[in-house]
Structure 1
């Protein structure tokens, strides 16, 4: 087995230090460098995943078909390498048709929740545009939490 070092030595060293003590310019360089590396790695990962599908996809589908399945996990080999191929099922539901079905269920007197997962939400844009009296009715059902903060560092030009 080969050890593959992906992170540059300097980055490994920096990650072991207190990053809050870095000079702001150096911190900005680090952020830009990481963003670049992440984008590069995502692109590389996509290309490798595409190559895996091209190389093993048909074999995995054939292995599943041999067991009477279209989706699931197949185990194949390529020389000394064992490959676990997972071909998941992805289901999508037509929202308009589900809404029609939900109306029919309600019309018969049944509870929609017994058949369909229902998640209600309110657009924040709509909520803030409503008159105060309407917002007051919804306020008890609304919780506001802080999201993940983001920071953009830019070197100022002289």
Structure 2
């Protein structure tokens, strides 16, 4: 593919029909270029985020402490600009301990745990596929299959042989 020089930049102003008329090697080249650009931008973004944390992290932590909070948004002034520093809260719940709490609410307190807990029932698709037919048929009315956005890859014959 080194002799093909179609880059993502070349298709910026083309409509989808024009891009669809390109050859598979040209499309593969564009996809490779896009992947490289995404990876490069991700590395740059990581560096900039680290730099922002180096520059503003200590001040943001101090401001949060002054405001009596561990997470959330604080605003800092820097040369006439307002820097908004957000430290999002990510809460994780131990499922076994929640089940234990729900049992205490149900049997010990006589309350309905659904007043306190959200319960989402899910079925593993791999498990569903392996269930006996009568069990699958019981669950089929509750099952909806939707599709995501199509994804395409183009591999060279050498890549296919290696795989």
The reply to whether TM is greater than 0.5 is: yes
Unaligned 5+ segments in structure 2 are 1-6, 159-163
Distance 1:101 1:66 in 2: 35
Closer, same or farther in 2 for the Cα pair 1:13/1:29, shift >3 Å? Answer: closer
Distance 1:112 1:140 in 2: 27
Aligned residues: 148
Distance 2:59 2:46 in 1: 20
Q: 1:43-102 deviations in whole A, cap 9, x for unaligned?
A: 211121112112211101111222222222111123343311112222111111011112
Distance 1:98 1:114 in 2: 13
Q: 1:81-135 deviations in whole A, cap 9, x for unaligned?
A: 3311112222111111011112222324432221111111000111111100111
TM-score (norm: length of structure 2): 0.82
SS at match of 2:157: coil
CA RMSD in angstroms, aligned pairs only: 1.8
Closer, same or farther in 2 for the Cα pair 1:103/1:130, shift >3 Å? Answer: same
